[in-house]
Amino acid sequence: MLDFRDNLTPVNRAADDLRRGLPVVVAGADGKGLALLPLELANGPALDAFEAVAGTGFLMVTGQRAEVLKVGHKGWPVVRLKRPGWMESADLAALADPTLDLASPLKGPFTRIDHPDTDTDRAALKLLKWARLLPAALAAEIDDAATVAAREGWLVANADAVLAVDLSQASALRIVARALVPLAGAEKTELVSFRPLSGGIEHIAIVVGDPSRHSPVLARLHSECFTGDLLGSLKCDCGEQLRGAIKAIGEAGGGVVLYLAQEGRGIGLISKLKAYSLQDQGYDTVDANTRLGFDVDERVFAPAAKMLKSLGFSTVRLMTNNPEKVAALGRFGIEVTERVQHAFPPNPHNVGYLATKKSRTGHML
Ligand SMILES: Nc1nc2c(ncn2[C@@H]2O[C@H](COP(=O)(O)OP(=O)(O)OP(=O)(O)O)[C@@H](O)[C@H]2O)c(=O)[nH]1
Ligand SMILES: [Zn+2]
């Protein structure tokens, strides 16, 4: 059996350091690497330490963010920019974060560095996303990545391990605890928790009743939404969809809701709140994500497929309006025999959000 610890642990540890605003190194197969500092946290002693070792460095942003910054990006997923001499820590944060535009109007133009699309570059921004940070970095090339990192105490993640992290982490999921938790409308419910072998992001299956493993199970993949699920936010339909799914599954006699730790379509709560702040300025949910430098939807549904298989389910009747969820489960080996509509009437605060889902992300509403 593969030991996923070898692949996952360095990636998760490096992501943790990035979240502390510490430099890390992403290393390519040739031993060369990129030292990285997240732009949104590039300040203070960590910035000084980075510059002392790596110089002023250059900037890395996604193609989406480059577009907003009016830098031609030739369709590249990652774009390197020269770091203008005037850019200090507050300017660096503002380059990454469009919610700071009013306080710190961008002072372009920026100059692209023509650089081929490499695994190391893509891994660098993937690691920032995995750390639930904005995908924009101060970076510098390092010839002997392992030696420099060891000398400076910087953690190293291999580019290929970073690029495979979603699938490795999904494969490494194991059931770690299960307990009966009676829910309103579904009293015979068991919560089954999953954790990757070497630790990391945890997901929960909500198994209602005792659904058969021999016929398609009524199932819902629910991505975590702190604001909607917990606070009852009216900006989205998540709270209604979560409680509605549990109720409907209870009434149908059994099934499963997967509660997936994919807050904000995979960008994390802080970045989702930044997206909401852009929505306050008039951008819709799609444009807010791309202005921040993200894809419209950053979720990978491999963990969901792995959880279903671990629970003994291979075919589902999926409660969703999102065709991508149906396609993704199919790609990861779960057959969707039926899509079950799962929509609720809009309210004045989420009517625009639901309309955008229909018109721009293909939701069948
Ligand atoms: N980035 C971002 N995430 C959002 C926004 N509004 C809601 N979300 C997140 O979107 C996800 C909603 O997930 P789901 O309801 O499972 O997915 P869906 O794609 O709408 O598909 P179905 O509900 O199954 O039709 C949750 O993780 C929310 O936190 C937003 O404006 N921006
Ligand atoms: Zn929501």
pLDDT at position 3: 52
Note whether residue 281 is domain-resident.
no
Q: Is the pLDDT of residue 1 over 90?
A: no
For residue 74, the CA-to-ligand 2 centroid distance in Å is 34
Evaluate whether residue 197 is within a structural domain. yes
| For ligand 1, mutation pick of 221, 222, 233, 236 (most atoms within 8 Å of CB) | 236
Enter the tokens of residue 174. 């194991």
Does 42 reside within a domain?
Answer: yes
- 153 with 180, same domain: the answer is no
Closest CA to 169 of 306, 22, 67, 338: 306
Q: Which of 114, 141, 163 is the last residue of a domain?
A: 163
Question: What's the confidence (pLDDT) of residue 2?
Answer: 45
Residue 280 belongs to some domain of the structure: no
The verdict on whether residue 320 carries a ligand-binding annotation is yes
Domain span at residue 126 reads 4-163
Is residue 237 in a domain? yes
Of the residues 115, 132, 163, the one at which a domain ends: 163
Whether residues 77 and 118 share a domain: the answer is yes
pLDDT at 271 over 90: yes
Same domain membership, residue 224 and residue 352: yes
299 lines ligand 1 (CB under 6 A): no
What's the pLDDT tens digit per position in 157-169?
Answer: 999 999 999 999 9
pLDDT at 117: 87
Domains in the chain: how many in total?
2
What local confidence, expressed as pLDDT, does residue 5 receive? 53
Q: What is the pLDDT of residues 211-254, one digit of tens each?
A: 999 999 999 999 999 999 999 999 999 999 999 999 999 999 99
Residue nearest to atom 15 of ligand 1 (CA): 238
**Is residue 24 over pLDDT 90?**
yes
Residue 277: inside a domain: no
Same domain, 102 and 240: no
Does ligand 1 have an atom closer than 6 angstroms to the CB of 274?
no
147 is an annotated ligand-binding site residue: no
Residue 31 to residue 19: CA distance in whole angstroms:
24
Same structural domain, 315 and 186: yes
Which among 141, 163, 185 is the end of a domain? Answer: 163
Does some domain include residue 53?
Answer: yes
Work out the pLDDT band at 304, boundaries 50, 70, 90.
very high
146 and 28 within one domain: yes
Question: Residues 20, 118: one domain?
Answer: yes
Does residue 95 sit in the same domain as residue 158?
Answer: yes
Catalytic (active site) residue 297:
yes
Q: Over the stretch 102-123, which tens digit does the pLDDT of each residue have?
A: 777 777 889 999 998 899 999 9
Residue 88 marked ligand-binding? no
Q: Are 157 and 178 contained in the same domain?
A: no
**One domain, residues 209 and 341:** yes
Average pLDDT over residues 344-362: 91
Q: Is 294 within a domain?
A: no
Query: Which among 284, 297, 317, 339 is annotated as catalytic?
Result: 297
34 and 90 share a domain?
yes
Q: Is 160 a catalytic residue?
A: no
Q: Look-up: residue for tokens 């300017």? A: 91
**Residue 323 maps to which CATH number?**
3.40.50.10990
Q: Which of 3-7, 241-245, 349-353 has the lowest mean pLDDT?
A: 3-7
How many other CB atoms sit within 10 Å of the CB of residue 45?
A: 9
CA angle 11, 161, 119 (to 5 degrees): 115
As a whole number, mean pLDDT of residues 176-188 equals 96
Give the dihedral of Cα atoms 280, 286, 291, 293; nearest 10 deg: 130
Mean pLDDT across the stretch 190-204?
A: 94
For residue 51, the domain's CATH number is 3.90.870.10
Report the 3 state secondary structure along the chain: CCCHHHHHHHHHHHHHHHHCCCCEEEECCCCCEEEEEEHHHCCHHHHHHHHHHHCCCEEEEEHHHHHHCCCCCCCCCEEEEECCCCCCHHHHHHHHCHHHCCCCCCCCCCCEECCCCCHHHHHHHHHHHHCCCCCEEEEEEECCHHHHHHHHCCEEEEHHHHHCHHHHHHHCEEEEEEEECCECCECCEEEEEEEECCCCCCEEEEEEECCCCCCCEEEEEEECCHHHHHCCCCCCCHHHHHHHHHHHHHHHCEEEEEEECCHHHHCCHHHHHHHHHHHHCCCCHHHHHHHCCCCCCCCCCHHHHHHHHHCCCCEEEEECCCHHHHHHHHHCCCEEEEEECCCCCCCCCCHHHHHHHHHHCCCCC
Are 126 and 150 within one domain?
yes
